[in-house]
Amino acid sequence: EIVMTQSPATLSVSPGERATLSCRASQSVSSNLAWFQQKPGQAPRLLIYGASTRATGIPARFSGSGSGTEFTLTISSLQSEDFATYYCQQYHHWPKTFGQGTKVEIK
Closest CB 12 distance from other proteins, rounded Å: 19
CA distance 62 to 100: 20
Question: Quick check: 38 and 84 in contact, CB under 8 A?
Answer: yes
43 near other proteins (CB under 8 A): yes
Please say which residue, 82 or 99, places its beta carbon nearer to other proteins: 99
23 residue type, one letter = C
Compute CA 68 distance to the chain's CA centroid, rounded to the nearest angstrom.
15
- Give the other-Cβ count within 10 Å of 9's Cβ: 9
Closest contact distance (angstroms) between CB of 13 and other proteins is: 20
Q: Report the distance separating Cα 43 and Cα 39, nearest Å.
A: 8
Residues of span 22-41 touching other proteins by CB under 8 A:
32, 34, 36, 38
User: 53-54 and 10-13: which strand pairing?
Assistant: unpaired
Cβ at position 90, least distance to other proteins in Å: 10
Could you tell me the smallest distance in angstroms from the CB atom of residue 15 to other proteins? 25
User: CA-CA distance, 11 to 5, in Å (whole number)?
Assistant: 15
Contact call for residue 45 and other proteins (CB under 8 A): yes
With binding defined as CB under 8 A, does residue 100 bind other proteins? yes
Residues that bind other proteins (CB under 8 A): 1, 32, 34, 36, 38, 43-46, 49-50, 55, 87, 89, 91, 94-101
